[in-house]
Every structure is written in structure tokens, then in C-alpha cells.
Amino acid sequence: MTRRLDVIVDHSRCVGNAMCLATAPGVFAHNSDRQSEVVDPAGDTEEKILEAAVNCPTGAIRVEVAESGERLFPHGG
Amino acid sequence: MGARKPMPPTDLDDLFAPEVIADPYSYFAQLREADPVYWNERFQLWVITGYQEVVWLLRHHELFSSAIMKHSTSPPYPPIEPEDLPLFDEVREFRGDQLVEQDRPEHLHQRGVVHEYFTPTAMESWRPFVRDAVRELLDELEPLGRMDVLTEFAASLPVRVIAQMMDVPYEHRDHLRELADSILYMNRGEPWRLRPLTEGMRGIVEYAAPLVEERLECPGDDFISILAQGEKTGVFTRHQVLVNTGLLLFAGHETTMNLICNGLLALIRHPDQWDRLRADPTGMARLATEECLRYDPPVKSTQRIAAEDVELGGRTIRKGDRIRWIMAAANRDPSVFPDPERFDIGRQPNPHVSFGSGIHYCLGVALARMEGQEVFGALAERFPRFELATEEVEYQPSIQFRSLKSLPVTWKQGDR
């Protein structure tokens, strides 16, 4: 069974670069301010979600394991 | 109220007035007060100075095209010599094929190729290289007691970094610096500027062509290999690979130079803030860099063209209208930044738009930030105080870039 993730977008950092929408379109969508919002944290694979987080130019995406709260990205943060 | 000296009438349409080049901030504040979405009759373009309006515009890329070279028919300004007009076609062709001039869907595919190279995590691995380069340059300069920050320090650093990113030999640096210096004419006002500019453009294409061949054969993890890979997968044409190599050189060079020079000048002019940075260079470098970016940004403004009729700030912008959005003005919008004219290196939050916003948000953002942090941190670490060695600083007559012509400084030695 795949583990559940918490995916959080920090709106004080998000600039609407939209690369996360291209990488994990099942998870992220734009809100009316054209900032990224999580529509379904299980909408893509964990690999794709982490890729979106790592590639965010402003580091606005945080990913945690829902059950344990373990931080997957960013590391050491 | 006592009698006030009457202010001289300001011509709000004179974008290129010498006073505007010297101090863009007073002029753009006047524009923002008059109308944050201002129609400049003389130059036939919209000038956007309000923060909210700028962000809204940048995040609606489907309404505002970045393909200026493709869509704009206006002649170069300031004017060029008539016999140089054919050179302008060459500039159009070169710039029109660069990533910054693409709209979706092409932009997304092309950015997808190079995006990973510049992520914050990827750029963090470059920090030791940048730190060493800064140290080496300052080791050479420190005993002299003086430098022109622009030519002797700020222009040398980005060329070292870019040469390494291209993975070319150490000895090529001087040639790359020459090419980069020619491409800087993009931003100048001289009527003959297209000659050195096109020479630089041809030079970079000529320089990069064999490298691309080589990296197609044996790819590495350098920037040219990444672009060449994009050619293999059909995302880039060969011409696009070559002009985007030029884009790395141009975009990474001048902007970094301006960040270093404008930031250091602000720190010299605000000794209390310099002392604050000196008290904790490692701790303050990150926020100080952001404030330098906000207060006197490397790029003052950029363009868009309306892709359809659109309402902005109560005005109707018509399809095909030219637009200039002013990050230097948005960064001082009092509705977003408390006490915006104050240079405060601890400012937080600091949501400046010096890197833009939306899908064209600066690709090199993580590199620029890191270079700024390393430079301002190292300068504060090593130098007790700089003195400006000129009465008045001068800027290049550009509406787009905030580029000093030189920044001579001195310091006392041995009282570190």
C-alpha cells in the first residue's frame, strides 16, 4: 500500500511558476491568484510529488509522511 | 505652511530623461500615484508601476505575450544609425529564439529541459565554487586599497561561474569576458551599439557551435550538454541551443554585476546597515541580499505585449499594445512594503518582484541569490568600511537595466 503524504504549498513563497502543475498535474492546480494549491495529495506518485517539490524555484513546497510527520522535503529544514 | 519652492513640472512621458536614469524611483513613484496603469502617449506603451497590477499581469501569461521580437514592429530606442538597421534584424533573430521570448506551449517544453539545472538544491552544490572564486578575487584586490567594483570584481565573478557551468577550459575566460562585454551593448544608448552587440552575438554562436557538436557526442552534466540533450529530443533547434548558450552568458553576467554594484553602493550609502551586516555577515547575508534586490534591482523593467483585449487597474489594454512593467516601482509600492524608501537589510517579509513572477520567473534565481549572499557576506567579513572614490555615480542610459558605469571605492588597509 502506498503511504499517505501531506503536501503543503507556502503561499508567501509561491510565485506561480507552475512547474509543479506540469510535473504533478493530479496534485497541484492554480487558485484565483495563480498560486499553486494542493487539490489531491494522492493525485500522483510520491516520486512525481517529490520531483515537483525539489524543482520548485522558490522552495515553496513541503512534503511530509502523513502518518509519522516525517519530513521528505526540504531536508533538514 | 510656509511658501514652498515650486517643483519643476515633470514630463511624465519622458521615460529616458537623464533625471529618470539617475533616479528612477522618484519618477516611477510619481507615475504610480498618477496611475499604476499609465498610458505613455509619446512612446505608445503602457507603464505598469503598481505591485498588485504587476503581479497580476505576470501571472496571466496567456493574456500578456513575452514574444516581443516576434510581435513588436517598433524601431529600436534610443534610435540607432540608419545604416545599422539590417543589424537589428539579426538581433531580432537571435533574441527571438531565446527562452525568455517564448510563450506556451513551447516555453513549458523548453523550460522543462533546463529547469532542473537551476533549482535551489542544484545551485547549493555550486556554493563552494562561488565562495572560492570570491575569495580568490578579493585576495588579489585587498592589498591594493582600491578597486573599480564593476570591472575588477563584479564582472569577473559571473564569468568564472558561467565558464564552469559551460565546462570550458580556464584559459577561455578572457574570451568569454570579451563576448559578455560586447553583449552588454544590448542595454546601451549609443547609436552605434548594434555593431559591438552583433559582433558579440556572432562570437558566442561561433564559440558555442563546436562545443555543442562535442557535447552531443559525449554529453556531460554541464549546461551546454543539457541544451544539446534538448536538441536530441526535438525540443530545441540547433539555433535555439546556440542562442540560449548566449542567454546564459548575457543573463548571468550583467544581472549579477548589477546586483553586486547596486547592493554595495546601497550598503556604502547606509553605514548603519553596513555595520549591521558586519556584525553578523553569515547570519544577515540572506536577508541583506533580498533587500539589495528590492531596493535597487539589477533589472528595472521588462516588456510584454497584450495577446488580447484586457482590463487592468480599470484601464482597457488593447490586443497588440506594448507594456512595460516596472519592478523597480512595484518594489517600492507603499501598499505592500512599509516605509518603502528605507533600505533595511533585515526587512521581512520581502516579496519583491526583482525576479519577476509567474511562468517566466527568473531561471537563475537560486544562483543569483547565492552569488549575492556569498559576495555581500565576504565583503562584510573582510572590509571594515568602503569609501566612494567619486562625487557622483553614473548609470547606463537604459530603461531596462540599472547598470552603473563604474563604482570606484577605496579602503584603509590593515585595520580589519
CATH code linked to domain A5-72 = 3.30.70.20
* A42: contact with B, CB 8 A cutoff: no
C-alpha cell at B173: 575566460
What is the chain B residue with the closest CA to A12? B351
Q: Mutual orientation of helices B281-295 and B238-269 as an angle, nearest 10°?
A: 110
How many contacts (CB atoms, under 8 Å) link A and B?
Answer: 47
Cα–Cα distance measured from residue B158 to residue B263, given in angstroms and rounded to the nearest whole number: 16
Q: Do A54 and B121 touch (CB under 8 A)?
A: yes
pLDDT category of residue B416 using cuts at 50, 70 and 90: low
pLDDT category of residue A53 using cuts at 50, 70 and 90: very high
Burial of B102 (0-12, 13-18, 19+ CB in 10 A): buried
- Report whether A6 contacts A60 (CB < 8 A): no
Q: State residue B7's pLDDT score.
A: 52
- Confidence check: pLDDT of B213 > 60: yes
Cα–Cα distance measured from residue B320 to residue B70, given in angstroms and rounded to the nearest whole number: 11
* A45: contact with B, CB 8 A cutoff: no
The 8-class DSSP code of residue B6 comes to P
Mutate to test the interface with B, among A50, A55, A73 (most CBs of B within 10 A): A55
- Report whether B249 contacts B183 (CB < 8 A): yes
State the average pLDDT over residues B250-273. 96
Say what percent of chain B tops pLDDT 90: 88
The reply to whether B53 falls in a domain is no
- Which ranges in B104-237 belong to alpha helices (H)? 106-115, 120-124, 127-141, 156-166, 173-183, 194-217, 223-232
Backbone angles phi, psi at B60, to 5 degrees: -115, 65
Cα–Cα distance measured from residue A22 to residue A16, given in angstroms and rounded to the nearest whole number: 12
Domain of B134? 79-290+347-410
Cα–Cα distance measured from residue B324 to residue B13, given in angstroms and rounded to the nearest whole number: 13
Q: State residue B413's pLDDT score.
A: 78
The 8-class DSSP code of residue B296 comes to S
Backbone angles phi, psi at B135, to 5 degrees: -65, -45
State the average pLDDT over residues B145-173. 95
Q: Strand B45-48 relative to strand B322-326: parallel, antiparallel, unpaired?
A: parallel
Q: Do A59 and B120 touch (CB under 8 A)?
A: yes
The reply to whether B52 falls in a domain is no
Q: State residue B175's pLDDT score.
A: 95
Cα–Cα distance measured from residue A32 to residue B27, given in angstroms and rounded to the nearest whole number: 32
ipTM over 0.85: yes
- Other beta carbons within 10 angstroms of residue A70's beta carbon come to 10
Q: Strand B64-65 relative to strand A71-73: parallel, antiparallel, unpaired?
A: unpaired
- Confidence check: pLDDT of B273 > 80: yes
The 8-class DSSP code of residue B289 comes to H
- Confidence check: pLDDT of B414 > 80: no
Which residue from B60, B119, B359 is facing A55, i.e. has the nearest CB?
A: B119
- Report whether B31 contacts B12 (CB < 8 A): yes
CA B359 to chain A, closest CA, distance in angstroms equals: 4
User: Tens digits of per-residue pLDDT, B136-147?
Assistant: 999 999 999 999
Cα–Cα distance measured from residue B332 to residue B292, given in angstroms and rounded to the nearest whole number: 12
CA A1 to chain B, closest CA, distance in angstroms equals: 30
Cα–Cα distance measured from residue B269 to residue A65, given in angstroms and rounded to the nearest whole number: 48
Cα–Cα distance measured from residue B271 to residue B195, given in angstroms and rounded to the nearest whole number: 42
Closest to B118 measured CA to CA, from B293, B302, B282, B248: B248
- Domain boundaries, given as residue ranges, for chain A: 5-72
pLDDT category of residue B190 using cuts at 50, 70 and 90: confident
Q: State residue B186's pLDDT score.
A: 82
User: What CATH number is associated with residue B385?
Assistant: 1.10.630.10
The 8-class DSSP code of residue B78 comes to S
What is the chain B residue with the closest CA to A36? B358
User: Tens digits of per-residue pLDDT, B301-343?
Assistant: 999 999 999 999 999 999 999 999 999 999 999 999 999 999 9
Chain B residues whose beta carbon lies within 8 Å of the beta carbon of residue A19:
111-112, 115
Q: How much is the mean pLDDT over chain B? A: 94
The reply to whether B103 falls in a domain is yes
The 8-class DSSP code of residue B191 comes to T
Q: State residue B141's pLDDT score.
A: 98
Cα–Cα distance measured from residue B156 to residue B133, given in angstroms and rounded to the nearest whole number: 9
State the average pLDDT over residues B242-264. 95
Cα–Cα distance measured from residue B245 to residue B204, given in angstroms and rounded to the nearest whole number: 8
Reduced to 3 states, what is the DSSP secondary structure of residue B359?
Answer: helix
Domains contained in chain B, number = 1
Q: Strand B146-148 relative to strand B408-410: parallel, antiparallel, unpaired?
A: antiparallel
Q: State residue B70's pLDDT score.
A: 86
Q: State residue B96's pLDDT score.
A: 95
Q: At residue A61, what is the residue type?
A: I
State the average pLDDT over residues B279-306. 97
State the average pLDDT over residues B204-233. 97
Cα–Cα distance measured from residue B148 to residue B177, given in angstroms and rounded to the nearest whole number: 16
pLDDT category of residue B1 using cuts at 50, 70 and 90: very low
- Report whether A18 contacts B358 (CB < 8 A): yes
* A31: contact with B, CB 8 A cutoff: no
